[in-house]
Structure 1
């Protein structure tokens, strides 16, 4: 994502919530991207309360929003939905049956500009134990086999992706060394799984991010 922003000469301010940094007023930004993390949107910490409030402010102001994993769950909670325990904890590139983790576009998803130029079934990396319950005003753009609410849309320009779009070989190595759920898997197998979908996955991720920047009128 950083490379795409750089190539398009788009300035970005990175806020690290895990280090206690404060979120500035999002209504002064042209877009807001919120990534994942080890926290839960249901946490009652000062940091999470601040994140929910800032997201709510952004959506009410019509600021284009892209949330990934926790960023998606926080979006849903900020807009009146719920974050609950997922019926299946999804970890890695494959499900418990050994099938590739993927999301399938709904009819609304097929017609949404965020998926312009993409296939109707997309491989995805998963790492979550919670999922969301949406409200009637939220659109489901893509569903999963075990965890239904994979990609949601709120209003005209706020998107949430349960799966991760940002995976790289370097990031995967870091997570394999740090994440307790990933540590239970064979790192060699996880890396092999990545190798089988890498070209398609990374191409899709770049296209999705570019589509979001177009929706946000930044490119």
Structure 2
């Protein structure tokens, strides 16, 4: 079995709490995030609510939680979508580390009353696109000691508005809200820092029809983009995860 999909029963080194990873398809993996959590001594607890897995009532037994992407929409009426969106209140209420990636970020925004919708001209972001940190985002880069990557990987047709009370950390062109922070320890990223070369190859073959959407990059350009930009994404992600697992700093308003 690949270390990307190991579970808490398979590794308990250093006695650290597992990280809860919420996936949406039967064959989905957490990409490089699974390996990075394991390298830091955290087992990974993979759950798929879409297929009946329960979600914990408290985060006391987990170091943090990540909701990943998927082909569904945060606006869908499926029970598991609504349950995941409602469940996000658990880490928010307990101020425990939470990270939403792509669909997961849109679920976070939806949970807080923001809008999730398609681009008005039907454009998509599929491939590597510029990431533009805001003033708050530049301050956060100083907090973690690592600048944001200039380009990040996307695979989406919907975006979200920044919810009231959240900070926009980075913006983009077609989809202005790219990264948000909510409270001391919750983050939503419209992009996919977890993506591996194998994942890009798989996605661009299995969902090749999406590469014809307005704004999407072809497969060759995506692989070229990875060669150009992935090193900076890895350096940033390493610094971000260390900060995130530490509780993302002191609670807002702390002295």
In the superposition, the TM-score normalised over structure 1's length comes to: 0.86
2:117 maps to 1:84: yes
Q: Contact 1:105/1:141 (CA < 8 Å) preserved in 2? A: yes
2:210 maps to 1:181: yes
Aligned residue among 173, 176, 180 for 1:145: 173
Aligned residue among 24, 33, 37 for 2:56: 24
2:222 maps to 1:190: yes
Secondary structure of 1:181 counterpart: helix
Structure 1 residues 40-92: Cα deviation after superposition (integer angstroms, max 9, x where no partner): 11111011011011112221222221111011000011112121222431111
Aligned residue among 43, 64, 67 for 2:100: 67
Aligned pairs (5 A) from 1:113-132: 116-120=144-148, 122-132=150-160
Cα distance, 1:114 vs structure 2:
8.4
2:183 maps to 1:155: yes
Secondary structure of 2:119 counterpart: strand
Cα distance, 1:115 vs structure 2:
6.1
Q: Distance in 2 between matches of 1:26 and 1:90?
A: 35
Structure 1 residues 100-155: Cα deviation after superposition (integer angstroms, max 9, x where no partner): x1211111111126862222552101111111122331111111122111001111
Structure 1 segments of 4 or more deviating over 6 A? none
Moved more, 198-207 or 109-118: 109-118
Higher relative contact order (CA 8 A, sep 6+): 1
Q: Contact 1:114/1:212 (CA < 8 Å) preserved in 2? A: no
Aligned to 1:135: 163
Aligned to 1:171: 199
Cα distance, 1:183 vs structure 2:
7.0
2:115 maps to 1:56: no
Moved more, 192-201 or 30-39: 192-201
Structure 1 residues not aligned, in runs of 5+: 94-100
In the superposition, the TM-score normalised over structure 2's length comes to: 0.75
